[in-house]
Amino acid sequence: MKTKIFLDFDGTLIRSKLMKESIFEIVSELGYSKDEVKRIYEEARNQAPFHPYDFIDSLAKERNVDSESTKEKLARMIDSLSKQCLYDDSANFLDEIDRKKYEINLITYGHEEWQRMKVENTGCRMSFDNLYYVGTKDKWKFVDKFLKKNEKFIFVDDFAEGVVNMKSSHPNCLAIYMERDDTVADNSILNHKKDVFRVNSFDEVMKIIET
């Protein structure tokens, strides 16, 4: 039986910061400063799964301006930028992983339409055996429906709390925390956690799982 690998998307496989900064720049054209856009974005993201079109509509309504041209510009940006957002080591990992040994699953949190758009435009959609778009950060609960009792599997994510919860709830999981150069989220929960691997690239992930 193949070993299941569950990979996060934003911040793990792709440069989320590059995508986010491009969104901020486009949205600021509605009459907001980038600092205002960033603040409102953080508030909106914490309330519900984020979709930039909804975000643009709400900001445009506040300024009583049309949002369609901004959304069209964003769509063009996604088309041109998405492939640049995929880390080189992510692409190499997806190309080189032994498909006879591993089942590769994408598990990504966020607004499903927005996540699908990004995955499609990075060009990596066909690299996965399964695509799971989840509306909750509780991925450690979501994976249960795909696992047999005590099944060993691999989980890679840049959300420290999620990795810790996955390992705590699934002791047989090989839990790997991905810390990229532009990772800004708090990861202090990992302090003194010896049962979670910490890596900076998929080159390191490959070495761990093939050891």
- Pair 133, 199 in one domain: yes
- Pair 95, 194 in one domain: yes
Last residue of a domain, one of 84, 103, 132: 84
Q: Which structural domain, as residue segments, surrounds residue 157?
A: 3-15+85-209
At residue 138, does pLDDT exceed 80? yes
- Across the chain, the runs of DSSP E, i.e. the strands, are 3-7, 102-109, 130-134, 153-157, 173-178, 197-199
Check: CB of residue 92 under 8 Å from CB of residue 86. Answer: no
pLDDT (0 to 100) of residue 82: 77
Each residue's pLDDT tens digit, 5-63: 999 999 999 998 888 888 888 888 888 888 888 888 888 777 778 898 988 888 888 88
Last residue of a domain, one of 84, 118, 144: 84
Closest CA to 46 of 118, 109, 114: 109
- Pair 10, 68 in one domain: no
- Pair 127, 197 in one domain: yes
- Pair 76, 133 in one domain: no
- Pair 21, 119 in one domain: no
Is this structure's pTM higher than 0.95? no
Domains in the chain, number: 2
